[in-house]
Structure 1
Amino acid sequence: MEKFIYSAELWFYPVTSESELLKVYRNDANGKTFITSRYSNISRYNDGWINIDVTSVVKNWLNGNEGLLNSIKISCKTCKDKEIPFIGTTGALKPFLSINTAKPKSNPKSGIENFFKSSSFKSNNFKSSPVNACRKQSTHCCVEEFYINFKEIGWSDWIISPQGYTANYCRGTCFGMDSFGYRLKILQKLSEEDNSLIPCCSPGKMSSLTIIYQDSNGYLHSVILPNMRVEQCQCF
């Protein structure tokens, strides 16, 4: 089966603020074998992630009969506090293997997208409840739920995860609202004389979105996009 493996990469995300020496080992029936080492600060050139070529390691595993004895270990020789994790271990920062079974040009996404769509991958892009969500008969300023499906807009061919997200938008009038205090009352009073001062229902709080995408060369990248989701609407 190893002949079908074109390439394999181990991806992990350092969370230490210092420049630490990270060493990568292979564990199998033959014991522990050193693969390579990286300094944690090199990740700033690749969206925070470090990728290691483990093609030969994976091919050897598929060619053998070691079963569950196979593993890859990452150690930090220079970390002062051994109890504090030095790489991400949960959610969107969990280490993963990217295995290509064909050349990137002929199969740009490979089978890695199935990993992110499976239950084993839990993104931190959870759906939170807006502070002032619109109800069915809402007329005042509120957050209207709006879901964007990346497949429907033609972006699913390069965005691996998530498959979509709740972007939301603001709607409703600002007049007759007492929950925004004296500032809104002053604007409402001034708007009676100057139409340019009419308060507008606009986003008051936004949150970021983490996406994992694949470039034209078949490499994976993780990026945090700011101000992608409306969490609260206010009158300004």
Structure 2
Amino acid sequence: MRWGGDPREIVPQASGELVALAGEALKSLVLYGSAAGAGFRPERSDVNFAVVLDPLQFVDLQRIAQWWARWRRRRVAAPLVLSRAELEGARDVYPLELLDIRARHRTLAGAELFDGLAVSAEAVRMECEREAKGKLFRLRALYLELAGSARDLHELMLDSRKTFLHVMRGLLYLRNQPWTVHGTEIVHAFEREYACALPVLAALGEPDVTGAGTERFGAYLTEIETLAMITDRDASPPTAVSPAATRQA
């Protein structure tokens, strides 16, 4: 879907409507992701908002649902809606998602709640392990279903790569490395920091890469197995993680 207008106009218009409908319950409205930093592509990127409400009631969701019905055609993603207490409680469950917002966001209304949001290194490691191993198990099961289709295997690798880039960002964070959003750069930084080779993961970031045979998918699985082992073998978090590590590279 292509943009139905200039994103520089869409953001203030859409956010202005959100502020009006939330009223006094709005504690913070944040634009995050590529629309708040580098890497925005009008032909494929979405606009992402996080809305913190207190109190958060069902009627608020109903109003936001009506708002989104109007804006989803303009590549506005379904907003992240949560209460202040839920934001605090998410730090030990979804630290990677919160770190990503912290690295690339712009507060449009209300208080700045993400800049100083702290997460523990162990929570980051645990989510990395959970995501990497869970996706690995799922990949094996899906291979059994798709083994006869090179095209489907290629799409499976492209789709699952997003999760593993997320995991690698988290593991690099544990080594005080800058939080970067560029896929191939993440892979190369990870290879250097953790002394491993991930050529298939790196190559999948190239625009002209097509097709996937059984051997290539097998090599991809081997790389993911290596990544999964690193999450609990070599990713021991340091005693302190520098706040600068989440500044976008």
Alignment TM class, shorter chain as reference: under 0.3
Superposition TM-score, scaled by structure 2 size = 0.22
Greater percentage in strand? 1
More helix by percentage: 2
Q: TM-score, normalised by structure 1?
A: 0.23
Larger radius of gyration between Structure 1 and Structure 2: 1
